[in-house]
Homo-oligomer: A and B are copies of this chain.
Amino acid sequence: MKLTIIGLGLIGGSMAKDLKKSNFATEIVGVDANPAHQKEALKLGLVDRIEEFNDALKQTDLVIIAIPVDKILTVLPHVLDLIDANTTVTDVGSTKKVICNAVKDHPKRGNFVPSHPMSGTENFGPRAAIENLFEGKISIICDHQQSKPQHLALVEKMYQALGMDIAYMTSDEQDHTTAYVSHLPHVTSFALANTVLNKQKRKIIFDLASGGFQSTVRLAKSSPEMWVPIFRQNKEYVIESLAAYIKNLEEMKSAIEDESSDKLLKLVQDATKIREVLDKKNPYLIKRERKIVKLYTR
């Protein structure tokens, strides 16, 4: 199968590695606006060749759009304009509502399968691409009724080849959920980094940055070009989650200030329940045998 990947960074590059290795793709064409990334992707063997945007969309089986979500918004309609009638298109952006809305009336909307594989690292660019990034994780497919069955099936097959389970939901549900488990943790990390960086005159702070600090602040190393558009596109739910988070912090602050009450202990004990939840292996997935889990509306 011939695959076209637009955007050869962490996600696009990692998908290329595993889809080649698993023989899902026999031929991978890469598209990237950045000449340095083109070179690197070729050198690293992520793709078989680099082509111009228009050429790469001809006679290809599957197009994966793996670029920042603001760029998806402008690139996706052109992709749908240019592909052959049977080509499947998917994107891997972290937001879905705005993107789906941008092509809702496109004559080739049925060729498009909006998705979001939930995996990543704080690194970016072709050199960040690693094998097995997606293994055992979940990919979300949105509004699947609006994709034609053959295109949906191909994208499901692709995620199975990557070792992923699939959860189906509306693009609104995906944006709401992802705000809490992905976008909010990024905001909290960026803000923590800024808080500590502003204290930089106390230079010793960074020498003392232990494992606890490093893991909490890890996401703050992520790409601004990727994350700013995500916060913008998912503004409503990111603001909702951020407001809830600030409220929780204010509660902890008052509880620390008020030494007469047991409130602080209660809040911390409540929080530690996250251990059971995370240690349970995906309690809400009915089956996880590298198959499609029809959890939602499908």
A152 to B86, CA, bound (A): 76
A146 within 8 A of B: no
Q: Which of B121, B167, B227, B231 sits near A207, CB closer than 8 Å?
A: B167
Report B-chain residues with C-beta under 8 Å of the C-beta of A180.
Answer: 195-196, 199, 202, 205
- Dominant SS among interface residues on chain A: helix
Q: Which of B193, B257, B270 sits near A271, CB closer than 8 Å?
A: B193
A66 to B147, CA, bound (A): 60
Q: Which of B176, B185, B192, B228 sits near A212, CB closer than 8 Å?
A: B185
- Chain A: how many interface residues by the 8 Å CB criterion? 97
Report B-chain residues with C-beta under 8 Å of the C-beta of A192.
Answer: 184-185, 188, 245, 248
A253 within 8 A of B: yes
Copies of the chain in the assembly:
2
Would A216 and B245 count as touching, CB distance under 8 A?
Answer: no
Report B-chain residues with C-beta under 8 Å of the C-beta of A208.
Answer: 118, 138, 140, 167, 177-178, 181-182
A267 to B231, CA, bound (A): 12
- Please give the residue numbers on chain A whose beta carbons come within 8 Å of chain B beta carbons, in ascending order: 118-122, 137-138, 140, 167, 169, 173, 176-178, 180-182, 184-199, 202-224, 227-228, 231-232, 235, 238-239, 241-246, 248-253, 256-257, 259, 264-265, 267-275, 277-278, 280, 282-285, 295
